[in-house]
Chains A and B, each alone.
Chain A
Amino acid sequence: MTAALRQTVGLADDSELLRFTTAGSVDDGKSTLIGRLLYDTKTAFEDQLDHVADVSRRRGDERVNLALLTDGLRAEREQGITIDVAYRYFATTRRKFIIADTPGHIQYTRNMVTGASTAHLAIILVDARQGVVEQSRRHALIASLLRIPHVVFAINKMDLVGWSEARFEEIAAELRAYVGELALPAVTFLPLSALTGANVVERSAEMPWYAGPTLLDHLETVPLDEEREIGARFPVQWVIRPQSTSADLHDYRGYAGTLAAGELRPGDEVVVLPGGRTTRISKIEQGGIALAVAFAPMSVTIHLADDVDVSRGDTLASPQRAPRVEQELEAMVCWMSERPLVAGGRYALKHGTRSTRAVVSAVDYRLDVSTGARHAEDGGRLALNDLGRIRLRAMAPLVFDAYAENRTTGSFILIDEATNATVGAGMLLAPAS
Chain B
Amino acid sequence: MLVRLAEKAFRPARFPFPLLHIDTGHNFPETLAYRDKLVGDLGERLIVANVQDSIDAGRAVEESGPRASRNRLQTVTLLDAIRDHKFDAAIGGARRDEERARAKERVFSHRDDFGQWNPKNQRPELWSLYNGRVRKGEHLRVFPLSNWTELDVWQYIAHEAIPLPSIYFAHQREVFVRDGMYYAQNPFVTLLPGEAIEKKTVRFRTIGDMTCTGAVLSPARTLDEVIAEVAAARITERGATRADDRFTEASMEDRKREGYF
Contact A48 B236 (CB under 8 A): yes
Contacts of B122 in A (CB 8 A): 84
Question: For the complex, what is the distance from the CA of A85 to the CA of B122, rounded to whole Å?
Answer: 10
Contact A240 B228 (CB under 8 A): no
Contact B151 A77 (CB under 8 A): no
Indicate which residue in A5, A10, A84, A350 contacts B131 across the interface (CB closer than 8 Å).
A350
B146 → chain A, closest Cβ, in Å?
Answer: 7
Contact B249 A288 (CB under 8 A): no
Contacts of A51 in B (CB 8 A): 249
Given A47-B239, A84-B120, A422-B123; A411-B228 close (CB under 8 Å): no
Question: For the complex, what is the distance from the CA of A337 to the CA of B256, rounded to whole Å?
Answer: 25
Indicate which residue in B10, B97, B133, B147 contacts A420 across the interface (CB closer than 8 Å).
B133
Contacts of B14 in A (CB 8 A): 242-243
Q: Mark A85-110, 1 if CB is under 8 A from B, else 0.
A: 11111010000101000000000001
Question: For the complex, what is the distance from the CA of A55 to the CA of B231, rounded to whole Å?
Answer: 27
Given A1-B158, A413-B129; A86-B103 close (CB under 8 Å): yes
A337 → chain B, closest Cβ, in Å?
Answer: 10
B119 → chain A, closest Cβ, in Å?
Answer: 6
Indicate which residue in A46, A98, A408 contacts B128 across the interface (CB closer than 8 Å).
A408
Chain A CB within 8 A of B85 CB:
no
Q: Mark A268-294, 1 if CB is under 8 A from B, else 0.
A: 000000000000000000111000000
Indicate which residue in B9, B104, B159 contacts A84 across the interface (CB closer than 8 Å).
B104
What is the chain A residue whose CB lies nearest that of B101? A72
Among B103, B126, B155, B224, the one with the most A-chain Cβ atoms within 10 Å of its Cβ is B126
Question: For the complex, what is the distance from the CA of A351 to the CA of B232, rounded to whole Å?
Answer: 42
Chain A CB within 8 A of B233 CB:
yes
Given A89-B97, A249-B12; A75-B120 close (CB under 8 Å): yes
Chain B CB within 8 A of A252 CB:
yes
Contact A413 B120 (CB under 8 A): no
B246 → chain A, closest Cβ, in Å?
Answer: 10
Contacts of B123 in A (CB 8 A): 421-422
Question: For the complex, what is the distance from the CA of A48 to the CA of B233, rounded to whole Å?
Answer: 13
Chain B CB within 8 A of A14 CB:
yes
Question: For the complex, what is the distance from the CA of A348 to the CA of B149, rounded to whole Å?
Answer: 33
Q: Mark A302-323, 1 if CB is under 8 A from B, else 0.
A: 0000000000000000000000
What is the chain B residue whose CB lies nearest that of A72? B100
Question: For the complex, what is the distance from the CA of A286 to the CA of B224, rounded to whole Å?
Answer: 25
A-B contact count (CB 8 A): 150
- Residues of B contacting A: mostly: loop
Given A45-B239, A74-B250, A118-B127; A288-B12 close (CB under 8 Å): yes
Contact A5 B104 (CB under 8 A): no
Among B8, B97, B133, B135, the one with the most A-chain Cβ atoms within 10 Å of its Cβ is B133
Contact B96 A47 (CB under 8 A): no
Chain A CB within 8 A of B36 CB:
no
Chain B CB within 8 A of A11 CB:
yes
A424 → chain B, closest Cβ, in Å?
Answer: 10
Contact B126 A5 (CB under 8 A): no
Q: Mark B74-108, 1 if CB is under 8 A from A, else 0.
A: 00000000000000000000001100111110000
Chain A CB within 8 A of B240 CB:
yes
Contact A87 B129 (CB under 8 A): no
B51 → chain A, closest Cβ, in Å?
Answer: 27
Q: Would you give 24 A-B contacts (Cβ < 8 Å), ordered by A?
A: A1-B158, A2-B224, A5-B228, A8-B228, A45-B234, A47-B236, A72-B102, A72-B104, A73-B101, A83-B119, A113-B124, A114-B126, A117-B127, A118-B127, A240-B11, A287-B7, A288-B12, A352-B129, A408-B128, A411-B126, A413-B129, A421-B123, A422-B125, A425-B126
Chain B residues near A (Cβ < 8 Å): 7-14, 96-97, 100-104, 119-120, 122-129, 131, 133-135, 146-147, 149, 151-152, 155, 158-159, 224, 227-228, 231-236, 239-240, 249-250, 253
Question: With A45-B234, A240-B12 given, can you name 4 additional A-B contacts, CB distance below 8 Å?
Answer: A73-B253, A117-B127, A242-B14, A420-B135
